[in-house]
Chain A
């Protein structure tokens, strides 16, 4: 199973909105509504911020939102803040009860 495709980097100014795409196939994102997103600050463990395409765990800011269309999932960060600067990874279930991660996107707050 190949990694899901994400842009290497996305940047935005404070207060702006940015969107990170995550492209898979009909075997993963296109078939299953089990897309999740993780935020990872340097030297830290990843943190779950979106699951089941668009659901937020308790305690995660509502500035983070997720969606899916066809084989592509998206994470939108609205009202960008300095603390949002981090790496972001998408993940999807696959048809074989496995997980596959995206290649990762570095978000820079200008």
Chain B
């Protein structure tokens, strides 16, 4: 069984960088796409972007200018950096595994709540 666990600060100051890491256990990170999804309180899901194990990335057009995804195959981890955050970036952030072709998300982490506040 594949398990994903998000980790990172729960509080981030406005204009700073939000950094989250997802640790994958139960399977290798190789051979798959890995995605970040976020959900503001009481609102819907938003796709942030995904990264292939070889490091190639695709981002949501609305976040492309601020988001960077990276992968560390030696640690079986992948990460999200989101620069210049504002209150609008306050959300629960989920890391997920995307099926081959990144067409659907079959495993999800429990979610990491992040609040942007001064």
Q: Is the CB of A52 within 8 A of B94?
A: no
Q: Is the CB of B44 within 8 A of A48?
A: no
Please classify the interface of chain B as helix (H, G, I), strand (E, B), loop, or mixed, using the class held by over half of its residues. Answer: loop
Q: Which B residues have a C-beta under 8 Å from some C-beta of A? A: 35, 37, 44-47, 50, 58, 60-61, 94, 99, 101-106, 108-111
How many angstroms from the CA of A102 to the CA of B46 in the assembled complex?
9
How many angstroms from the CA of A98 to the CA of B105 in the assembled complex?
12
Q: Which of A9-17, A18-26, A88-96 interfaces with chain B? A: A88-96
Tally chain A residues at the interface, Cβ within 8 Å.
Answer: 25
Q: Is the CB of B104 within 8 A of A45?
A: no
Q: Is the CB of B104 within 8 A of A36?
A: yes
How many angstroms from the CA of A1 to the CA of B50 in the assembled complex?
16
Residues of B near A100 (CB, < 8 A) are 47
Residues of B near A70 (CB, < 8 A) are none
